[in-house]
Structure 1
Amino acid sequence: MSTIRFHQTTTSTPEQFIAGLTDFGPGRSKLFPNSADASLQVHHLGAHEADVTEGGRGTWERLHYDWSDAHHVRLTTTDSNVFGGASGYTYILMPRPDGTTDVDVVIVREGKNLKGRALAGVLGTVGRSVLGKAFDTSVKAIEARNDAQAARS
């Protein structure tokens, strides 16, 4: 099992970040490069929770999203072709006095088969930089989306 942590400060508010995180519409892959639009399937979407299958590059997972707490978003893996157990993501969003937001994410990867165990091991070591770049890309893409929306207003 691998546990990976990242931190970033963003110009997005917690609400804006959650809006990007929970936008399951077309173009999701622009915000989250590891989520191929063709693999996205929304099973249920509620006011503060969702059941979504997403993935790409030969891996997929079904995630339960819970954003009922405006500063704590949990994505729990409920099914996957490679991950199980305690797998998922936890985002902690803390607004700062200067209007920015600290975003901390904890990614847990527990392989449920040989491929999953190997992938979890790689992600916990050399794959960490790949996940870090994807996280940076997502933060910047959500900021750009917010800037574009503000310019249209």
Structure 2
Amino acid sequence: MSTVHLHRRTTATPEQYVAGRTDFGPARSKLFANSSDAYLKLHHRTGSHADVTEGSGGIWERLHYDWSDPARVVLTTIDSNVWGGASGHIYTFTRRPDGTTDVDVVVIREGKNLMGRLLGFVLGTIGGGVLEKAFENSVRAIEARNSNAGRPDPGISDLAA
């Protein structure tokens, strides 16, 4: 089993990050590159819980999302072609006095077959940088999404002229 800890400070509020993390729309891959639209399936969603299948590159997992605690989002793997056991992700948000947010992520990967055990080993040794880069890209994408919120779409203003 591999456990990877990630940390970033962001200009996004916890609410904005949770909104991005729990946006299961067709453009999800713009926020999370490891969640290809081809794999995305929302099975069920209530106010603060969702059952979602997502993945990319031949690896998929069905996750139970729980964002009932405003300072935390827990993703629990309930099925996957490579991950099992205690696999999942925990996002924790801490508001800072300067208006920024610390986002801490714990990624737990327990392989359920040979491929999963090999991938887990790689992630736990030399592959943590891949997760770090993907996380950094998602933080930037969520910041950009929120900095563009409320701005008029240039294409729409061109039509009005």
What TM-score do you get using the length of structure 1 for normalisation? Answer: 0.98
CA root-mean-square deviation: 1.1
Partner residue, 2:10: 10
SS at match of 2:126: coil
For the residue of structure 2 that corresponds to 1:85, the secondary structure is coil
CA separation in 2, counterparts of 1:112 and 1:39?
Answer: 20
Cα distance in 1, alignment partners of residues 136 and 150 from structure 2: 21
Max radius of gyration: which structure? 2
* Mapping for residues 47-58 of structure 1, pairs under 5 Å: 47-58=47-58
Instruction: Provide structure 1 residue ranges, at least 5 long, that are not aligned to the other structure.
Output: none
Separation in 2, partners of 1:31, 1:46: 22
CA distance in 2, matches of 1:25, 1:145: 14
The runs of at least 4 aligned residues of structure 1 exceeding 6 Å deviation read none
Shift of 1:4: 0.0
1:106 alignment counterpart: 106
Alignment-mate amino acid for residue 114 of structure 2? L
Partner of 1:40: 40
- Cα distance in 1 for residues equivalent to 2:26 and 2:83: 25
**Residue 59 (structure 1) aligned with residue 63 (structure 2):** no
Q: For the residues of structure 2 that align with 1:41 and 1:26, how far apart are their CA atoms?
A: 10
| Residue of structure 2 equivalent to 1:117 | 117
The residue aligned with 1:142 is: 142
CA distance in 2, matches of 1:151, 1:94: 27
Query: Structure 2 counterpart of 1:130, which letter?
Result: V
What is aligned with 2:133?
133
After TM superposition, list the pairs within 5 Å mapping 1:62-77 onto structure 2: 62-77=62-77
Letter in 1 for 2:43: H
Deviation of 1:126 (Å) = 1.5
With the length of structure 2 as denominator, give the TM-score of the two structures: 0.93
